Amino acid sequence: MTVSRFRTILYIVVAIVSLAGLADAAYLTVQALTGETAVCGGSPDCFRVLGSSYAKVAGIPVAAFGSLAYFSVFSFATFAAFSYARARLFLTLTVGAMFLVTLWFLYVQAFVLHAYCRYCLFSAAITFLLAGLVIALPPSQDASDA
Amino acid sequence: MKRYLPFIIVAVVAIATLGSGAALYRAKLPHLLTISEDSVSGKGDAESMHIRGNPEASVTLEEFGDFECPNCAKLATFLDQVIKEYHPRVRLIFRNFPLPNHLFARDAALAAEAAGLQGRYWEMHDMLYREQPVWSSSKSANDARTLFISYAETLGLDFDLFRRDMDSDKARERIESDQAHAKSVGIKTAPSLFVDRREMGPNDRTPEGVRRLIDEAVKAKSSASEKK
């Protein structure tokens, strides 16, 4: 298998994995908008996290920002798979930013709220997986935009 | 064609995400519920109904609350003001709706009912909401229960009787009766508030929204009684 083909396959995997994150974040966004955090699958920890002040920024659910981030990752990975060189840079930057934000939210859950939300942990796992995949991408030798 | 393929894929995913999100939002959006007049007037459970304010008031607020839910605590403080402000035209009926994901909510409801059996329901109701951050952080049900008993002592209740009443069939049946009523009406979450049998909508979940609904109900009742 050539390096270029391996890279394309990794971009496709990144796009597919980001769809799982997008589904999770979109579900949480809808739940926040309908005010359904109170039931949250029967878990009190989930309620504490999703009902906390950390779950919103300027009145907007953080899950909405998560949805946007996962959709961006999906778009950049798709374009990168079709050899759009600039998309690779945006993909790396977006996943890097998501990785840092995920670390912050894990800190908040562990040390501030002392409660973990299963949907948030799933999202964190997806982001770590995306970060791993992006790190595993072989460096590009082709700098030209398609 | 290959040049446009990534744009098509991204557009399809965007449309699918927005479409399924909108469908899920519509499915989850709470539909406004109504309660029948017979059900509120409580023919069968008048004795067990907890009414705050003038029992003969023309306008009824009916709340389904959970003592462990922070939004219920905020609503309780607000409704207490409202009942004083609109006295004697408005009354409040409180129904227990302990959510299953709240570890001590049911025990708290039992504590309120046990206090109610000694005629001090509302005092315990207010105490439980005021002290919610304390007892809801208990490590175990036993710790929470110890706090409930200390509240009963503070309120001057017979705490031996209170302890027995918390485990009594009567207290349990009152909660189950409220839950059955909530189920028959279609309640899914707490707090849920009805103003004269009409549930407050998503846009009314503010002090101004609730006041507007009450004002409308008071006005409707006043004009109806003038016509008579």
Domains, chain A, ranges and CATH? 3-136 (1.20.1440.130)
Q: Which of the two residues, B100 and A122, has the higher pLDDT score?
A: A122
Of the pLDDT bands very low, low, confident and very high (cuts 50, 70, 90), residue A55 is confident
Same domain membership, residue B62 and residue B9: no
- Per-residue pLDDT in tens (0 to 9) along chain B, 228 residues: 678 899 999 999 999 999 999 998 887 765 555 555 555 544 445 556 899 999 889 999 999 999 998 888 888 888 998 999 999 999 999 999 999 888 999 999 999 999 999 999 999 999 999 889 889 888 889 989 998 998 898 888 998 999 999 999 999 999 999 999 998 888 888 888 999 888 877 667 777 888 888 999 988 888 777 766
Q: What percent of chain A has pLDDT over 90?
A: 59
Chain A residue numbers touching B17 (CB-CB < 8 A): 22, 26, 67, 71
pLDDT number for residue A5: 87
d(CA A77, CA A129): 14
**In the prediction, which pLDDT does B32 show?**
52
- Asked if the model's pLDDT at residue A141 lies above 70, the reply is no
> Which residue's structure tokens are 């759009």?
A84
Indicate if B8 and B88 belong to the same structural domain. no
Q: A1 pLDDT band (50/70/90 cuts)?
A: low
| B114, B17: one domain | no
- Annotate B23-60 with b (16+ C-beta within 10 A) or e (fewer): ebeeeeebeeeebeeebbebeeeeebbbbbbeeebbbb
Instruction: Clarify whether residues B19 and B98 are in a common domain.
Output: no
**Chain B residues with CB within 8 Å of chain A CB:** 2-3, 5-6, 9-10, 13-14, 17, 20-21, 24-25, 28-30, 69-71, 99-103, 188-190, 202, 205
For A15-39, the pLDDT digits (tens) are 999 999 999 999 999 888 876 654 4
Which residues 44-83 in chain A show a CB within 8 A of chain B? 44, 46-47, 51, 67, 71, 74-75, 78-79, 81-82
Task: Report d(CA A85, CA B194) in Å as an integer.
Answer: 58
Q: CA of A52: which chain B residue's CA is closest?
A: B70
Burial class, B125, CB count within 10 angstroms (exposed 0-12 / middle 13-18 / buried 19+) = buried
Write out chain A residues lying below 8 Å of B189, CB-based.
Answer: 35-36, 38-39
Average of per-residue pLDDT values in chain A? 86
Domain count for chain B: 2
Same domain as B106, residue B141: yes
Looking at residue B98, its pLDDT comes to: 94
Selecting from A27, A39, A82 the residue whose C-beta is nearest the C-beta of B99 gives: A39
Query: What is the structure's pLDDT at B228?
Result: 61
Q: Are residues B134 and B183 in the same domain?
A: yes
- The interface predicted TM-score (ipTM) is 0.85
Question: Cα A67 vs. chain centroid, distance in angstroms?
Answer: 8
Same-domain pairing of B21 and B59: no
Asked whether residue B172 falls in the same domain as residue B77, the answer is yes
pLDDT at A146: 41
Tell me phi and psi for residue B46, to 5 degrees.
Answer: -55, -35
Give yes or no: residues B6 and B109 share one domain.
no
Give B184 to chain A, closest Cα distance, Å: 19
Q: What is the CATH number of the domain that holds B201?
A: 3.40.30.10
Tell me if B25 and A27 make a contact (CB, 8 A cut-off): no
Q: Smallest CA–CA separation between B64 and chain A, in Å?
A: 14
Inter-chain residue contact A38 with B100, CB threshold 8 Å: no
Which chain A positions have a beta carbon within 8 Å of B20's beta carbon? 26
Interface probe with A: pick from B7, B8, B17, B29, most Cβ of A within 10 Å: B17
**Do B141 and B189 fall within a single domain?**
yes
What residues make up the domain containing B23? 1-30
B188, B220: one domain: yes
Smallest Cα–Cα separation from A98: which of A10, A13, A22, A9? A22
Which residue bears the tokens 């270029």?
A: A4
- Residue A144 is predicted with a pLDDT of 43
Same domain, B20 and B42: no
Residue A143 predicted with pLDDT over 50: no
Q: Which of A39, A74, A146 sits opposite B101 (nearest CB)?
A: A39
